[in-house]
């Protein structure tokens, strides 16, 4: 056996030894604390990973549904755009038909107006012709009976009356104020009206 030598220590050596021990204990405590912290962090990371896996499993159907909804909205938008285009075509077609119908109606009204003018002219000429025929017949009856011929002033007045347009309803059977009562039944009275065009 080796003999033990006892060496006297001073206070500096004692303080240094105590400081080394405190340092060693601090290092051991730091290592133990770091190991515990690392283990806790690892356990927390595993829990977070499991939570994320569970959340991912729950989010996948939600994401699929969101994608399906987006596809449906896209399809509905496309369908709505198609319907709007079709409706626009229908409106344009209907507008074209309405314009064509209005133009045809205007053309018919113009033709009807022209025809009404022609009918009016023919009716006026027919009334004048009938009045002339009645006048001629009256003159023939007078001549056949031997009645005196009317005055030239009356012929001129009647000629002036027939030069104007005579419309149905213009002949008044009432005698003029200055005519003798005998001639009242034989001569119609003609009222002058302004010309209509």
The pLDDT value recorded for residue 156 is 54
**138 closest CA partner among 72, 77, 185, 81:** 185
pLDDT tens sequence across 69-99: 999 998 889 888 888 898 989 999 999 999 9
Residue 108 shares a structural domain with residue 143: no
Q: How far is CA 139 from CA 61, 163, 178, 189, in A?
A: 114, 19, 22, 17
**187 closest CA partner among 147, 120, 122:** 147
Span 48-72, mean pLDDT? 84
Span 104-123, mean pLDDT? 90
Flag whether pLDDT at 2 surpasses 90.
no
Last residue of a domain, one of 96, 119, 142: 119
Q: For residue 164, give its domain range.
A: 120-190
Residue 112 shares a structural domain with residue 125: no
Residue 61 shares a structural domain with residue 87: yes
How far apart, in whole angstroms, are the C-alpha atoms of residue 171 and residue 191? Answer: 7
pLDDT tens sequence across 184-194: 445 555 555 56
Span 47-69, mean pLDDT? 83
Residue located via tokens 């515990």? 36
Residue 97 shares a structural domain with residue 151: no
The pLDDT value recorded for residue 186 is 54
Last residue of a domain, one of 59, 84, 119: 119
Number of domains in the chain: 2
Residue 90 shares a structural domain with residue 41: yes
Residue 82 shares a structural domain with residue 165: no
Residue 36 shares a structural domain with residue 109: yes
How far apart, in whole angstroms, are the C-alpha atoms of residue 193 and residue 1? Answer: 170
The pLDDT value recorded for residue 195 is 60
With respect to residue 17, please indicate whether it lies within any of the assigned structural domains.
no
Distance of CA 155 to the CA centre of its chain: 69
With respect to residue 16, please indicate whether it lies within any of the assigned structural domains.
no
Residue 34 shares a structural domain with residue 110: yes
CB 162 within 8 A of CB 131: yes
Last residue of a domain, one of 119, 143, 169: 119
């Amino acid at each position: 056996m080796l003999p033990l030598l006892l060496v006297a220590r001073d206070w500096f050596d004692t303080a240094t030894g105590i400081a080394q021990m405190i340092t060693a204990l601090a290092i051991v405590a730091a290592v133990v604390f770091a190991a515990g912290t690392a283990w806790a962090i690892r356990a927390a990371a595993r829990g977070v990973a499991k939570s994320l896996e569970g959340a991912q499993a729950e989010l996948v159907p939600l994401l699929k549904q969101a994608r399906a909804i987006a596809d449906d909205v896209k399809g509905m938008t496309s369908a709505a755009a198609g319907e709007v285009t079709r409706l626009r075509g229908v409106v344009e077609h209907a507008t074209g038909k309405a314009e064509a119908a209005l133009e045809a109606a205007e053309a018919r009204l113009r033709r009807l107006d022209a025809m009404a003018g022609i009918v009016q002219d023919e009716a006026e000429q027919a009334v004048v012709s009938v009045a002339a025929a009645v006048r001629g017949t009256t003159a023939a009856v007078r001549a056949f009976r031997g009645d005196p011929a009317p005055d030239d002033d009356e012929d001129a007045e009647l000629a002036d009356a027939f030069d104007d347009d005579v419309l149905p309803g213009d002949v008044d059977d009432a005698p003029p104020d200055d005519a003798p009562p005998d001639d009242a039944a034989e001569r119609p009275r003609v009222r002058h009206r302004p010309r209509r065009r």
